[in-house]
Amino acid sequence: MPHTTDAEHYLAFDLGAESGRAVLGTLDGRKLTVHEVRRFPNTPLSLAGHIHWNVYALFDEMKAAMREAAAAIGTRPTSLGVDTWGVDFGLLAKDGSLLGLPFCYRDHRNAGAMEEYFKLVPRPALYEATGTQFMPFNTLFQVYAMVRERSPLLDAATDLLFMPDLFNFLLTGRKAAEFTIASTSQFLDPRTKAWIPGLFQAMGLSKKLLQNIVEPGTVLGEIAEEIAVATGLRHVPVVATASHDTAAAVVAVPAEGRNWAYISSGTWSLVGVEEEAPVISEGSRDANFTNEGGVGGTIRFLKNVSGLWLVQGCRRSWSADGPVTYDDLTRAAAEAPAFATLIDPDDPGFLNPPDMPEAITEYCLRTGQKPPATKGALVRALLESLALKYRRVIGQMSLVLGHPIEKIHVIGGGSRNALLCQLTADATGLPIEAGPAEATAIGNILVQAMATGRVSSPAEIRAIIRGSFELRTYVPSGSAADWDAAGARFKAIRPA
């Protein structure tokens, strides 16, 4: 435990694919409180037929939030840290300037790159080397897409920085690759925590683009003078926190004991367990599980499932005709008939369609199902299908690990969705403990507190969270037979 009971303040930037937030955490003894200082949209830019992240707009928002945080607490924070989504990156020129805006992982340039890369390094060998789930937008395949296009950016680049590492560089001038974000790339050996140069060399590149790897909780240095002038904050250490947003969320799982799993529920749903070593086997490869870095030497053994992205996409389309709230959609879904339509949330047609409801209608017709007739029925179908996807992944995970899962922790924004949590309990037959909703920002903050010596270990982080935030429990209440029948239907869905 820390020796002081004086309150300390930590500033977390949590940047997601839909929005960014600046969150102040105040740690007073063993009690943590969090306060959102600023929220801002993360709106991708469409330029020359491609989708990019507007890094400059995001960084301006971060600097504005730093000024607001200083005003809110009347002093400088103890430290600050940045977490973001995985796989995406920026390229730097020799002088440190950014070579164009980073591409969004949903950009069409990645189409077919994964399958073509397997001609250079076969799929089984690539999984054995990296233990990484195959997704068409992994960093490896994004870089190969640039090689395939003979992108001049690669010729000019001297450094590749993942998104949180890029923001840390803009804040401090230091280049580094934080372990948890690096582990999303499919360039890393999770056993040795080292880059695999042969994966770069197979496509004619050198690994010199990649940075030295640092552990989560590494103090990178103080904010640069130009940032201090712009924000009024000086001598604030920047911590390479658990920089992948899922890693930050998982360290904030308020778990005790063993045989628990987590679902980090947001735009994506990350379904997994925490392990002491990578799990790389034929079974994990066939089930397409990934091994990503965690805090304190742990490995996050998980599968990415396309989560509330589909609901978000529907809401965006429907909002063109007037305001539509998530609460209204969830209430309508609760009243809709059960198991009318089942949808695989990971169907490729849902990656980035121009109109999500239309894409879902087309999917239903391709799979021989009647499309939902109302907004409530459509959202009900999406939430039930997510719960069934969780059920399948948890079952696969138990088989690969060789032991049962006895409890599921749902963290992140989806933990606020009582209907989804109850459906998940019913589908899996397992108790659900939901919360904290702000898990990513909380994990970011408490890894900073560990880096600065205020917190001693990940176990203490979880004890602080259990004592600081209200959690809600859901127990299975639906008909197991009905869910078994729905599970069989879900498994059998195949596009025509």
- What does the pLDDT look like over 107-124, one tens digit per residue? 999 999 999 999 999 999
If DSSP codes are grouped into helix, strand and coil, which group holds residue 240? strand
Is 452 a member of any domain?
A: no
pLDDT above 90: percentage of residues in the chain: 95
Catalytic residue selected from 245, 344, 347, 426: 245
Same domain assignment for residues 339 and 211: no
What does the pLDDT average to over 250-258?
A: 96
Chosen domain end from 221, 245, 269: 245
Same domain assignment for residues 152 and 268: no
pLDDT for residue 495: 66
pLDDT tens profile 379-416: 999 999 999 999 999 999 999 999 999 999 999 999 99
pLDDT for residue 494: 73
Same domain assignment for residues 86 and 176: yes
pLDDT tens profile 113-171: 999 999 999 999 999 999 999 999 999 999 999 999 999 999 999 999 999 999 999 99
Q: Is the pLDDT of residue 2 over 60?
A: no
Same domain assignment for residues 170 and 201: yes
What does the pLDDT average to over 473-494?
A: 94
Is 371 a member of any domain?
A: yes
Is 445 a member of any domain?
A: no
Is 451 a member of any domain?
A: no
What does the pLDDT average to over 178-182?
A: 98
Cβ(259)–Cβ(96) under 8 Å? no
pLDDT confidence tier of residue 1, bands split at 50, 70 and 90: very low
Same domain assignment for residues 275 and 221: no
Same domain assignment for residues 45 and 154: yes
Is 227 a member of any domain?
A: yes
Same domain assignment for residues 50 and 187: yes
Chosen domain end from 245, 279, 307: 245
Q: Which two tokens stand for residue 329?
A: 């959609």
pLDDT for residue 17: 86
Is 441 a member of any domain?
A: no
Chosen domain end from 194, 218, 245: 245
Give the phi and the psi of residue 24 in degrees, each rounded to 5.
Answer: -95, 130
Q: How far apart are the C-alpha atoms of 242 and 179, rounded to whole Å?
A: 8
Residue 281: CB atoms within 10 Å: 15
pLDDT for residue 477: 96
Q: Is the pLDDT of residue 478 over 90?
A: no
Cβ(117)–Cβ(142) under 8 Å? no
pLDDT confidence tier of residue 5, bands split at 50, 70 and 90: low
Q: How far apart are the C-alpha atoms of 88 and 40, rounded to whole Å?
A: 20
CATH of the domain at 406: 3.30.420.40
**Torsion region of 381: left, alpha or beta (phi above 0 gives left; psi -120 to 50 gives alpha):** alpha
Same domain assignment for residues 57 and 123: yes
Same domain assignment for residues 281 and 183: no
Listing DSSP states for 32-85 in one string gives EEEEEEEEEE---EEETTEEE--HHHHHHHHHHHHHHHHHHHSS--SEEEEEB-
Is 444 a member of any domain?
A: no
DSSP 8-state code for residue 430: S
Q: How far apart, in Å, are the Cα atoms of 357 and each of 31, 153, 337, 353?
A: 43, 36, 18, 9
Cβ(19)–Cβ(58) under 8 Å? no
Q: How far apart are the C-alpha atoms of 139 and 143, rounded to whole Å?
A: 6
Q: How far apart are the C-alpha atoms of 349 and 359, rounded to whole Å?
A: 7
Same domain assignment for residues 484 and 336: yes
Q: Is 245 a catalytic residue?
A: yes
Q: How far apart, in Å, are the Cα atoms of 162 and each of 139, 168, 180, 412?
A: 9, 10, 11, 22
What does the pLDDT average to over 287-295?
A: 97
pLDDT for residue 206: 80
Count the domains in the chain.
Answer: 2
Cβ(245)–Cβ(85) under 8 Å? yes
Same domain assignment for residues 237 and 271: no
Q: Is the pLDDT of residue 454 over 70?
A: yes
Is 2 a member of any domain?
A: no
Same domain assignment for residues 197 and 66: yes
pLDDT confidence tier of residue 3, bands split at 50, 70 and 90: very low
> Which residues form the domain of 426?
253-435+457-496
